[in-house]
Every structure is written in structure tokens, then in C-alpha cells.
Chains A and B, each alone.
Chain A
Amino acid sequence: DTAVSQTPKYLVTQMGNDKSIKCEQNLGHDTMYWYKQDSKKFLKIMFSYNNKELIINETVPNRFSPKSPDKAHLNLHINSLELGDSAVYFCASSPATGLSEAFFGQGTRLTVV
């Protein structure tokens, strides 16, 4: 009964390919996020959705397209993968107010070769 689950956990793919990462939360939260953690462990927000609506897009290349079919799901699709996209991608969710804990998924380690 994992609160925030994302799949796959590992993803190895070649440059130029298109891939998707899926995320689901069963906490009833209204807000979901995608964060990117680079090789230096730095965590940076990419996107945020509130009740299926995009509210944050942090100057991420438009090769990255999030999709939220409902408020419990937020998927991330990446087109034309580049070497620099290699990172760990974390999905997270929080209650709508934002002044409370964000729960993170277990992460997806993406390696582009």
C-alpha cells in the first residue's frame, strides 16, 4: 500500500528514444509534482499539477511533457532523450495547501546511453 508509487524504477535507453514514467498516489492529495535529482544530488522541481491542472512549469525543455489523467496520476513523457537527461526523477504529492509534507515516490533512475 505504497503512498506514492512510480514505475519503472530503472530505465536504460538510447539517445533519441521516447520514454514515459508513470506515477500514482493513493493519499487523496490534490497536488502532484515531478522533481529531477542530478548526479550531484541536487533536487529541482520540474512540474506541478493541482487537480489535473498544470500550475508550475520550471523552464523545462518542451521535450518533457507531463500528463495528469486524474488527480491521482501524473505521468512524465520525454521525447528525443539526450545524455543530459540522465538523472533520478522523483514524483511527489502533497495536500492542496502546500504547507505540509510532500511525499516522494521511490524514484526512477533514467540512464541515457
Chain B
Amino acid sequence: GENVEQHPSTLSVQEGDSAVIKCTYSDSASNYFPWYKQELGKRPQLIIDIRSNVGEKKDQRIAVTLNKTAKHFSLHITETQPEDSAVYFCAASKGDTGKLIFGQGTTLQVKP
């Protein structure tokens, strides 16, 4: 069935360091891969997304890479700041129904 695996489950970095979160998906028909950030007690909010016709996308300190052959995609955050501390979710969708299959989440802690 459809499945998204996300690693690591927790990640602690020093302010200014980079953070990388990795996901793999099982359904090769998936063609939309968003990343959501969820702060404590808040709603998930989209931070970046990538479609299957693109290998990499960057938005300021955040970048996402996609390897369709290996069914991997990753989130890269550079120059981390304490306000980046949150739970990050990757997701995959086939785009037909909009249904998102989420990874298990990564709790990122950025230490000042």
C-alpha cells in the first residue's frame, strides 16, 4: 500500500548548522511532495513543495531534492535558527484526489 517513511524522528542541531530530513515513498505514481512545518499546538503549514518533473527546488534557507528513481526526497535547512524548531512532515500525493500520505514526522530542535 501507500507508505512514506521519514527519518530521523528527532534531530538536534546548533544554531547556524544545517539540518537534513529524508523521506522515501512506496507508490511510484506519486507526483507531488510537500513539506509541512507544525509548531507546538498549531496547524501544519506548507513550507515548500516539489513536483515530479523537478529535481530540486530552493526557497531562501530551505531546499528540497527529489530522486524519482530511488523514490527519495529530502528537506535541507541551512543556517538554522531557534525559530526553525518544530515538527516537520513530508508527504506524498498522486494528485488525483489530493490525498496526502504523511511521514511520521521529525522533531527538529535548534539550540541557541
Q: Which of B43, B51, B87, B102 contacts A99 (CB 8 A)?
A: B51
Cα distance A101–B98 in the bound complex, in angstroms: 9
Number of A-B contacts (CB under 8 A): 64
A42 contact set on B, CB distance < 8 A: 102, 104-105
By beta carbon, the residue of chain A nearest B102 is A43
Shortest Cβ distance from B96 into A: residue: A98
**What is the size, in residues, of chain A's interface with B at 8 Å between Cβ atoms?**
25
B interface with A by C-beta (< 8 Å): 31-32, 34, 38, 42-46, 49, 51, 87, 89, 93-102, 104-105
Query: A residues bordering B, Cβ < 8 Å?
Result: 31, 33, 40-45, 48, 50, 55-56, 90, 94, 96-102, 104-107
The 8 closest A-B pairs by CB, nearest first: A98-B98, A104-B43, A99-B95, A43-B102, A98-B95, A101-B46, A94-B98, A99-B32
